[in-house]
């Protein structure tokens, strides 16, 4: 496995692309033998305190990457985010939630690192479960209210090139 900090390590170009890829993978996993609707509903889940967003997909992804890399710096770099911003959004979430999310590790020859606390791991696990359940509920509501709409029906066959003649 390649260390995310090494040159040549695969890094997707943006957070949005990674989120879209994960959404596609989840959708593919949930599709049964029948085809999925051509048009689907989507949502953006975040926690806020008095209208101020303080935990959502961005901070969640940052924490997942910290868990994978063992470093807030590497997680921030992977997301094309400055270390100071990563530190700031993590601290803001901790303050609003009243829990410690990260624990700094003592430095070795290559410096220190960060790991998720038990509370941080629990938050990541619960947030993922919450969003997955919200996705499922949204799919059900969409089919309930729009399932008979023409745009919600599966495509009749393989995808066609819209540039091809009509």
For the chain, 166 residues long, the average pLDDT of each consecutive 10-residue run is: 41 54 61 66 92 94 96 96 97 96 74 89 97 95 92 69 50
Is position 28 within any domain?
Answer: no
The answer as to whether 5 is a domain residue is no
CA distances from 105 to 27, 71, 102, 108, 142 (A): 37, 9, 10, 9, 46
Long-range contacts from 3-12, C-beta under 8 angstroms, 24+ separation = 4/68, 4/69, 4/74, 4/77, 4/78, 5/69, 5/71, 5/74, 5/77, 11/78
Does residue 137 lie in a domain region? yes
Ordered DSSP codes for 69-137:
HS-HHHHHHHTT--HHHHHHHHHHHHHHHTS--EEEEEEETTEEEEEE-HHHHHHHHHHHHHHHHHHHH
pLDDT of 157 reads 57
pLDDT number for residue 38: 81
What are the structure tokens assigned to 34, written together? 């029948």
Residue 58 falls inside a structural domain? yes
Residue 136, in any domain of the structure: yes
- DSSP letter assigned to residue 164: S
Structural domain includes residue 78: yes
pLDDT given for residue 40 in this prediction = 87
Residue 63, domain member (yes or no): yes
| Domain boundaries, position 79 | 42-152
In this prediction, residue 13 carries a pLDDT of 46
pLDDT of residue 45: 94
CA distances from 102 to 38, 72, 157, 158 (A): 41, 9, 48, 47
In a domain, 142, yes or no: yes
Q: Which of 99, 29, 90 is nearest to 58 (CA)?
A: 90
| pLDDT in the model for residue 155 | 72
What was the pLDDT predicted at 11? 43
Q: How many domains does the chain have?
A: 1
* CATH code of the domain containing 54: 1.10.10.10
């Amino acid at each position: 496995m390649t260390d995310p900090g090494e040159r040549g390590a695969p890094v997707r170009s943006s957070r949005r692309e990674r989120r879209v890829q994960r959404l596609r993978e989840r959708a593919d996993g949930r599709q049964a033998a029948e085809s999925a609707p051509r048009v689907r509903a989507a949502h953006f889940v975040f926690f806020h305190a008095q209208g101020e967003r303080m935990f959502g997909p961005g901070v969640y992804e940052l924490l997942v990457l910290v868990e994978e890399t063992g470093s807030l710096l590497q997680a921030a770099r992977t997301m094309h985010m400055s270390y100071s911003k990563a530190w700031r959004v993590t601290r803001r979430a901790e303050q609003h939630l009243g829990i410690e999310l990260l624990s700094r590790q003592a430095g070795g020859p290559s410096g220190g690192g960060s790991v998720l606390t038990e509370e941080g791991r629990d938050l990541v696990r619960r947030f993922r479960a919450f969003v997955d359940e919200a996705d499922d509920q949204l799919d059900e509501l969409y089919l309930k209210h729009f399932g008979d709409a023409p745009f919600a029906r599966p495509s009749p066959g393989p995808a066609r090139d819209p540039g091809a003649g009509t």
